[in-house]
Amino acid sequence: MTDVQLKQEIEALMLDYVDAIDNGELDGWPACFVDPCLYTIASRENFDRGLALAVMRCESPAMMRDRVNAIRNASVFAPRFIRHILNGSQITADTDDGIKVRTNFAVYQTLPEGDSILFMVGEYRDVVVRDGASLKFREKMVVYDTTRLADVVVYPI
C-alpha cells in the first residue's frame, strides 16, 4: 500500500466518523473503533499538562453505545445539529502500536432558533490500526483549543 492510499483510507475513516455524528447516525460512531479503545475530549490546557481530566471519556465501544443510549433516551437538552469541518489528516508516525494521525477540526452547532455558532476548534490526535480489511481508531483524543465552551458537550466531537 502506498502512502497516498494509506492517507486516503485514513481520511475515509475520518469522514465515516464525522458523518455518523453530523447526520445523527450515532450507532455508526462506536463502529469506527476497535475494542478496547480510548476516546477522550479534553481541553488543550489539560492535554498539555498531562492531566487525565476530560469532558467525555470512553474506554470501549460498549461505553460509546451507552453514551448513544443516554443521548437518545436519558439526556435532556435542546435539539441541535452538529457539523464538522476538517482539514487533511497528517500521518505523524507509523509504529507497531498503530498509525499516529493529527487532524484539525472546527465544529459548528445549530440550535432550534436557527443560529449557527462556532462551538469548538482543535485537533484530533488519533492512533489508527488495521482491523481486518479496514482501519479503525484505537485511540481518538479530541484536544480542543476553545477556552470557553458556549454550551454543553452532548454529542461526540
pLDDT digits (tens, 9 = 90+) for 136-153: 999 999 999 988 877 778
DSSP letter string over 4-54? HHHHHHHHHHHHHHHHHHHTT-GGGTGGGEEEEEEEEEEEHHHHHTT----
Please state, in angstroms and rounded to a whole number, the distance separating the CA atoms of residues 60 and 40: 11
pLDDT digits (tens, 9 = 90+) for 12-63: 999 999 999 999 899 999 999 999 999 999 999 999 999 888 999 999 999 9
Structural domain boundaries in the chain: 3-144
Q: pTM of the entire structure?
A: 0.92
% of the chain beyond a pLDDT of 90: 77
Class of domain 3-144 (CATH, top level):
alpha beta
Q: How many C-beta atoms lie closer than 10 Å to residue 157's C-beta?
A: 20
**What pLDDT is attached to residue 75?**
66
**What pLDDT is attached to residue 155?**
86
Is the omega angle on the peptide bond into residue 79 within 30 degrees of 0, that is, cis? no
Q: Which three cell numbers stand for residue 57?
A: 471519556
